[in-house]
Amino acid sequence: MRALSTWLPATRPVGVFTDIDDTLTTDGAITPEALQALADLKAAGLHVVPITGRPVGWSEPFAASWPVDAIVAENGAVALQHSASWGLRKLYLQDAATRSANFIRMQAVLAQIERSVPGARRSQDSAGRETDIAIDHSEFTQLPQSAIETVVRMMQAAGMTATVSSIHINGWFGAHSKLTGARWIVRELWGRDLDAEIDRWVYVGDSTNDQVMFEHFAHSVGVANIRRFEPQLTHPPRYITPSERGAGFAELARHVLSRLA
Question: What tens digit of pLDDT does each residue of 13-53 get?
Answer: 999 999 999 999 999 999 999 999 999 999 999 999 999 99
Q: Which pLDDT band, with edges at 50, 70 and 90, does 193 fall under?
A: very high
The answer to whether residues 150 and 233 belong to one domain is no
Overall number of domains in the chain: 2
Confidence of residue 83 (pLDDT cuts 50, 70, 90): confident
What tens digit of pLDDT does each residue of 204-238 get? 999 999 999 999 999 999 999 999 999 989 999 99
Q: What is the pLDDT of residue 86?
A: 82
Same domain, 27 and 61: yes
Domain with 40, as residue range(s), is: 2-93+176-260
Based on the fold, state whether residues 73 and 193 are members of the same structural domain: yes
Q: What is the pLDDT of residue 29?
A: 95
182 shares its domain with 78: yes
> What sign does the CA torsion over 139, 140, 143, 147 have?
negative
Cβ 124 vs Cβ 136: under 8 Å: yes
- Asked whether the predicted pLDDT for residue 130 surpasses 80, the reply is yes
pTM for this entry: 0.92
